[in-house]
Amino acid sequence: MSTDILCADYRGMYQSAAGRLCSALRDVPALCASSLRQQPHHSPVKRRALSPPVPGSLVSLGCCHGLAGWIGDGPAKAVPSQGTAAPSAPTGGATGTAARSASRSGCSMGNSTSRLYSALAKTLGSTAAIAQHQEYLEESEHEQSDPLDPKDLLEECQVALQGRPARLNREFVSRRNDFSSSNSFRVMQWNILAQALGEGKDNFIKCPMEALKWEERKYLILEEILIYRPDVLCLQEVDHYFDTFQPILSRLGYQCTFLAKPWSPCLDVEHNNGPDGCALFFLQDRFQLVSSAKLRLSARTLKTNQVAIAEILQCNETGRLLCFVVTHLKARTGWERFRLAQGTDLLRNLESITQGAKIPLVVCGDFNAEPTEEVYKRFASSSLNLNSAYKVLSDDGETEPPYTTWKIRPTGESCNTLDYIWYSQHALKVNSALSLLTEEQIGPNRLPSFNYPSDHLSLVCNFSFNMDPDRLL
């Protein structure tokens, strides 16, 4: 059976599970997705002590953790999730190593959701196995459409994270002499770290396994998204799309698109939650979808394992078109020419999709390439007239940040700039960008940690349209 067919079957299974989640959450107060726009963007706040969750809420069900019962063992009773208590601060060295060893020997990677997915991968060809879960394929669209209040969801995330250290504060840095624009929009780029890779393959030797458990790490990821409330969200290494991000973000007013890697390394991990891939989300009260393209990147004539999503959206406020792209290029040293070929193929596709840059572009991705690499230079010099948004943080406006990822593995410490938000500089301008965490905030054990859920930092930019978009063409 082909990967595409498998993914299609998995999609149906998990979308039905999303319906179960929505049904269980009907008691959560509803709020139209437009509230995301009505609330002003603000700086992150420290977590505070909050009242216990009410029955029927996301936290009382363990949020997505409660979904495990729906998918793995049939409909479950809505009972409060006991969860796991996390240490108040990260530990490293021998303590972290011991915790990791104990956790690996005594705890499976996931919940019953992961176990079901693993079983499906082996028995999907069996009609009996499909019939067993047929009831989950009959959920109505109505059950999946009830909106969530983002303020309530953020508060519930903070309840779930009370045992963890306070949030690490980051501020927006504005361009000199820049004034906020009424037609601005916010874009967030983030490699969130696939759960299967974080627990099973990446081997962050200074990060305790307790910090990586999905039961709490998912709340850190959702909290980061809810704090900054992007109009367009681009994620890489998403392996909990159907049971977490699609059901929750769709109820926050986002339209969601996902594309899995054909040969995801997550599938090599026991009790995985399916393949990882790229995902693109946009607020439907800000944009409407015009067209969507799912790309499998090529290296010359060879189809590769890396993918991209490119969607043309129309701004509801101005009527102008924008093309948003999310991608994730091949990792590791020694693959520089391969990444260059992938990047060249992506640029060639975008040239066609945007009609030769007539439609402005925002390209988000983990390029796995430093600014010195040829693929970076190819993007910077392409006919699409792209510039890197995070240069705005530098004094000269021409220099990339010193790092967007910082981790420690058995092979040593890696501090690199690999993540970018490219934009059409003739049509768009960067109003502000979210500052990066300092070395002191990140700490000696680096990322991920109890404070931060990924080994990559999120990039967040506020853009607006140039008044004279043809001026720089």
How many distinct structural domains can be found in the chain? 2
Q: Write down the mean pLDDT value for the chain.
A: 78
* Residue carrying structure tokens 């406006």: 397
| Buried b or exposed e, range 305-337, using 16+ CB within 10 angstroms | ebbbbbbbbebeeeeebbbbbbbbbbeeeebbe
pLDDT at 6 over 60: no
**pLDDT of 414 higher than 90:** yes
- Asked if residue 218 and residue 305 are part of one domain, the reply reads yes
Judge whether residue 10 has pLDDT over 80: no
Residues 377 and 285 in one domain: yes
Look at 102-116, 158-172, 292-306, 354-368 and tell me which has the smallest mean pLDDT: 102-116
Domain end call among 144, 161, 182: 144
The arithmetic mean of pLDDT across residues 156-176, rounded, is: 93
Considering the domain architecture, whether residues 266 and 348 belong to the same structural domain is answered as yes
Angle, in degrees to the nearest 10, between helices 214-228 and 150-160? 140
User: For the domain that residue 297 is a member of, what is the CATH number?
Assistant: 3.60.10.10
End of a domain among 144, 162, 187? Answer: 144
Same domain membership, residue 241 and residue 320: yes
pLDDT of 228 above 70: yes
Q: Which residue has the higher pLDDT, 234 or 146?
A: 234
For residue 434, tell me if it sits in a domain: yes
Are 10 and 110 in the same domain? yes
Average pLDDT over residues 255-282: 97
Rounded distance, CA 462 to CA 184, Å? 7
Answer yes or no: are the C-beta atoms of 309 and 349 closer than 8 Å: no
In contact, 24 and 78? CB cutoff 8 Å: yes
Report pLDDT digits (tens) over 127-160.
343 343 334 333 434 445 689 999 999 999 999 9
pLDDT grade, residue 27 (50/70/90)?
A: very low
Question: Residue with structure tokens 């930092």?
Answer: 457
The range of the structural domain enclosing residue 49 comes to 3-144
The reply to whether 446 falls in a domain is yes
Confidence of residue 357 (pLDDT cuts 50, 70, 90): confident
Mean pLDDT of 421-449: 97
Q: 271 with 371, same domain?
A: yes
Per-residue pLDDT band at 175 (split at 50, 70, 90): confident
Residue 469 pLDDT greater than 90, yes or no? no
Domain membership of residue 159 (yes or no) is: no
Confidence of residue 180 (pLDDT cuts 50, 70, 90): low
Give the highest mean pLDDT range of 30-34, 77-81, 440-444: 440-444
Give a yes or no: residue 152 inside a domain. Answer: no
Instruction: Provide the pLDDT for residue 293.
Output: 98
* Residue 145: per-residue pLDDT: 62
pLDDT at 20 over 70: no
Instruction: Using pLDDT thresholds of 50, 70 and 90, give the confidence band for residue 183.
Output: confident
Considering the domain boundaries, does residue 167 fall inside one?
A: no
Judge if 18 and 55 occupy the same domain. Answer: yes
In a domain, 163, yes or no: no
Closest among 389, 442, 420, 467 to 173, alpha carbons compared: 389
Considering the domain architecture, whether residues 184 and 287 belong to the same structural domain is answered as yes
For residues 361 and 434, state if they share a domain. yes
Question: Considering the domain boundaries, does residue 165 fall inside one?
Answer: no
pLDDT tens-place string over residues 73-101? 333 333 333 333 343 444 444 444 444 44
Report whether the peptide linkage leading into residue 448 is cis, meaning its omega lies within 30 degrees of zero.
yes
- In this structure, the answer to whether residues 123 and 214 fall within a common structural domain is no
Q: How confident is the model at residue 314 (pLDDT cuts 50, 70, 90)?
A: very high
194: in domain: yes
Specify whether 119 is located in the same domain as 185: no
pLDDT over 80 (residue 24) = no
Instruction: Indicate if 183 and 290 belong to the same structural domain.
Output: yes
